[in-house]
Amino acid sequence: MASLKKDSDESSFGSARPTTEIASASPVARDLIGLLTHEDLDRARDRWRVTRARWKGRGAKRFGGLRVLWLLVGPGVLVFLGENDAPSMLSYSATGARFGVGFFIPFVVLTFVMGLIVQEMTVRLGAVTHRGHAELIFDRFGKFWGFFSMGDLVLGNFLTLITEFIGIRAGLGFFGIRPAVAVGVGLIVVVAAMTTGRYWTWERITLGLAIFNGLFIPAAILARPDWSAVGHAMLTWTPLPTGHSSEILLLILADIGATVTPWMIFFQQSAVVDKGMQPRDIKAGRFDTLLGALLATVFAIAAILATVPLFHHGIDASQFQAAQFAEALEPWIGHAGAALFALGIFEAGIVAAIAISTSSAYAFGEVLQTGHSLNRPVRDAWPFYSTLLGSACAAAGLVLIPHAPLEFVVLTVNVIAVLAMPPALAFLILLVNDRDVMGEHVNGFWANAAGIAVTVLLVCVGIGFGLATVFPSLLGG
Amino acid sequence: MKSNESDSRFPVTPQGDGPVHGIAAKPDLKDPQVVLSLLETDQVVAAKEKTRFGRRNLSLGVRLLLWGLRIYVVAMLVLVVVSVLRAVHSMH
């Protein structure tokens, strides 16, 4: 292909290109035999499981049977439940406490539809190219744009990681656990997950933890929601929120930032690559992403419903942190409900801390062109694991500094995520339309229309935020 | 692009000794050919490290789009700082 340059002088490997050629059938197969690594063997083992499951389930019409789905589910569920993180659940809780059941219920569903549109593209990119998002941006757009993109990611990821440890501290704080112990527990879980030396084990451990995001469901049921009002809100998007327009806009921004963020793009694409997914797995990858979006939507709405009693009793929750939400809810959902809520915030922080620190590590590894796989032993990929551990330790340490301006971080994290999203989406849409990279898997018309619509919407919301900041009186303060 | 839909390329035990007839119950990953038969060429670390997607030509429209969005992000980050300083000030 004319636009692809040969980057290796030493062999017949040639240029990267969109292909599904099996390695053993490749002209360079003989060269590869002596170069296989531990990472290749682990990935081959994962592929063998999928192949065998698909062969066994070859009678099944879609996907190749439940066993295939079980094996291929992971990145999509993790990315969405990871994004239902501590600041996101607090945004949903603040929404429920401030506005009750109404406009924001269907709005949150819409944000997850937006997230689904974006994340589906990352599945295709990862499965077709076998390369992470940061690597592709550097390859196709050069270092100049690559470093801008990485700057957005690093800033957003680090601020978000801090809020995860704030959530971990606050969640366990409800049970009287000291901050240093709570943060230490969080770090131990992150380290335990990363030292498995196997993507598959890491993914299953994190999925096991992520499912506890569902703790918000019993908390919501204990709040005895008015289901007819929920149904009415879903159909009519009413009652509309009332009050200061700037406050409403901020919550809209925070709720969008709770669902579509740059780290999700980088993480899911890298996870798809690390899992070893291939183009034939794209359908299953889509199912995985849809499942993740559905679960996350249900859990997010549960968080809103759990805090609706605060709205009905006129309690001002605008300055609440996690433990305060749980304490304030106790009279209405009981100690068990409040404990579930606090545990839910703790879990949200833990899973997101694992996913976001891994996202940073993948991106660094791709940019530095060093080993960046959870299938690699620590000694073979120490820059990757150091980034993962270093970012988690730095965020955890900051949370323990007395009088650190953490409210600054909590206030900004989801807003920054939304504002940094349009350039990330532009790179994503350009890459997924790049036939030299994607081959036959380029975006179709509707995928482009949906992706561009999401980008334009995010830009408009950002401009609205800008106008509200510069001219506070424009939107009624 | 080649089709990848056939399963015939995967390691087959002559005896069919696995629970599933035709595919080995456990892969012999000591055999490099088995490993290579399970991975696409670009999934093999050594092959991936030796090949890169080259730079694409950025049209004027694409460059304007990227610069526009970059300016947008920087301007918005300044506004976020202003907004948060106001909020923190009002908290105290």
Chain segment A262-272, per-residue pLDDT in tens: 999 999 999 99
Q: Out of B37, B58, B84, whose CB is closest to A408?
A: B84
Q: Are residues B63 and B81 in the same domain?
A: yes
Q: Are residues B5 and B47 in the same domain?
A: yes
Q: How many domains does chain B have?
A: 2
- Is the model more confident about A325 or about A441? A441
Q: Which residue of A has its CA nearest to B83?
A: A469
Chain segment A372-426, per-residue pLDDT in tens: 999 998 888 899 999 999 999 999 999 998 877 776 677 678 788 888 899 999 9
Q: Are residues B48 and B26 in the same domain?
A: yes
pLDDT of residue A2: 35
Interchain pair A47, B84: CB under 8 A: no
- Is the model more confident about B15 or about A121? A121
Query: Sorting pLDDT into bands at 50, 70 and 90, what band is A46?
Result: very high
Which residues in chain B touch residue A436, judged by CB atoms under 8 angstroms apart? 53, 56
Q: Are residues B37 and B70 in the same domain?
A: no
List Cα–Cα distances, A421 to A129, A412, B52, in angstroms. Answer: 22, 14, 26
pLDDT reading at A111 higher than 60? yes
Over chain B, what is the mean pLDDT? Answer: 75
pLDDT reading at A147 higher than 50? yes
Q: Are residues B39 and B64 in the same domain?
A: no
Q: Are residues B91 and B69 in the same domain?
A: yes
Over chain A, what is the mean pLDDT? Answer: 88
Query: Sorting pLDDT into bands at 50, 70 and 90, what band is A239?
Result: very high
- Is the model more confident about A37 or about B5? A37
Percent of chain A with pLDDT over 70: 92
Q: Out of B42, B55, B91, whose CB is closest to A130?
A: B42
Q: What's the DSSP call for residue A378?
A: G
Q: Are residues B13 and B44 in the same domain?
A: yes
Can you give the residue range of the structural domain that contains B46?
A: 1-53
Q: Which residue of B has its CA nearest to A52?
A: B23
Q: Are residues B64 and B24 in the same domain?
A: no
Nearest-neighbour CA in chain B from A217: distance (Å): 32
Residue A270 CB contacts under 8 Å (≥ 6 apart), including other chains: A126, A132, A133, A359, A362, A363, A366, A372
Chain segment A266-318, per-residue pLDDT in tens: 999 999 999 999 999 999 999 999 999 999 999 999 999 999 999 998 887 76
Beta bridge partners of B40: A22
- Helical ranges in A174-244 per DSSP H: 179-194, 199-210, 216-222, 227-236
Q: Are residues B8 and B47 in the same domain?
A: yes
pLDDT reading at B14 higher than 60? no
Closest listed residue to residue A81, CA positions, set A327, A344, A342, A335: A344
CB atoms inside a 10 Å sphere around CB A335: 11
- The structure's pTM equals 0.89
Q: What is the DSSP string of A38-79?
A: HHHHHHHHHHHHHHHHHHHTTT-SSTT-HHHHHHH-SHHHHH
- The 10 Å CB-count burial string (b at 16+, else e) for A39-70 is bbbbbbbbbbbbbbbbbbbeeeeebbbebbbe
Query: Sorting pLDDT into bands at 50, 70 and 90, what band is A76?
Result: very high
Q: Does A197 touch chain B (CB under 8 A)?
A: no
Interchain pair A22, B36: CB under 8 A: yes
Q: Are residues B10 and B35 in the same domain?
A: yes
Output the CA angle A375-A66-B32, nearest 5 degrees: 35
Interchain pair B79, A465: CB under 8 A: yes
Q: Are residues B87 and B49 in the same domain?
A: no
Q: Are residues B29 and B60 in the same domain?
A: no
pLDDT of residue A162: 92
Residue A148 CB contacts under 8 Å (≥ 6 apart), including other chains: A423, B70
pLDDT of residue B28: 81
Nearest-neighbour CA in chain B from A298: distance (Å): 30
- Residue A191 burial by CB count (10 A; 0-12/13-18/19+): exposed, middle or buried? middle
Interchain pair B10, A152: CB under 8 A: no
Which residues in chain B touch residue A405, judged by CB atoms under 8 angstroms apart? 88
- Residue A38 burial by CB count (10 A; 0-12/13-18/19+): exposed, middle or buried? middle
Most B CBs within 10 Å: which of A8, A9, A20, A58, as the mutation test of the B interface? A20
Domains defined along chain A, listed by start: 57-475 (1.20.1740.10)
- The mean pLDDT value for A97-102 works out to 92
